[in-house]
Amino acid sequence: MEKITVDALVENLQTVIDFATEKLEARDCPMKTSMQLELVVEEIFVNIASYAYHPEIGAATFCMEFEENPSAVKMTFIDGGKPYNPLEKDDPDTTLELEDRDIGGLGIFLVKKNVDEISYEYADGKNILRMKKFF
């Protein structure tokens, strides 16, 4: 398993994205899948950076693990911020008209659309979000 821990700040988003894309490239992950996963990593990391410790600053850990036959990547985000299960958030209604659309919930919705498995656990004072995607 490979992991990186950074302060959960939007300024560190690129560091985490670079870590993820480098590992995915090394495993010959198709470009399209890699871009979808980049979006997943961004949305989760930015959520943690924006809400988990607010107004304090704390750490976020991102782990990647690869499987073969079939090829898949398991990704885990861990933070020690406020307990928060993003999977409990209602999906935005994507059929609403412009006036009725609001700007919340889009990030986690995109995450759910772009992974094959996702689960949340709160354990030992940590939020743990596990995801898996086949490629």
Partner 1 sequence: MEIQKEQNGNALTLKIVGRLDAGSAPELSKELTTALDGVTDLTFDFAELKYIASAGLRVLLVAQKRMKKQGAMKLINVSEAVMEVLDMTGFSNLLTVA
**# chain residues binding partner 1, by CB under 8 A:** 26
Distance, in Å, from the CA atom of 126 to the CA atom of 8, rounded to the nearest integer, reads 14
Q: Indicate whether 79 belongs to the interface with partner 1 (CB under 8 A).
A: no
Q: Stretches 71-79, 94-102, 118-126, 127-135: which one binds partner 1 (CB under 8 A)?
A: 94-102
- Write the binding mask 21 to 40 for partner 1: x where contact by CB under 8 A, - elsewhere: -----------x--x--xx-
**Per CB under 8 A, 109 contacts partner 1:** yes
Selected binder of partner 1 within 94, 123, 124, 125 (CB under 8 A) = 94
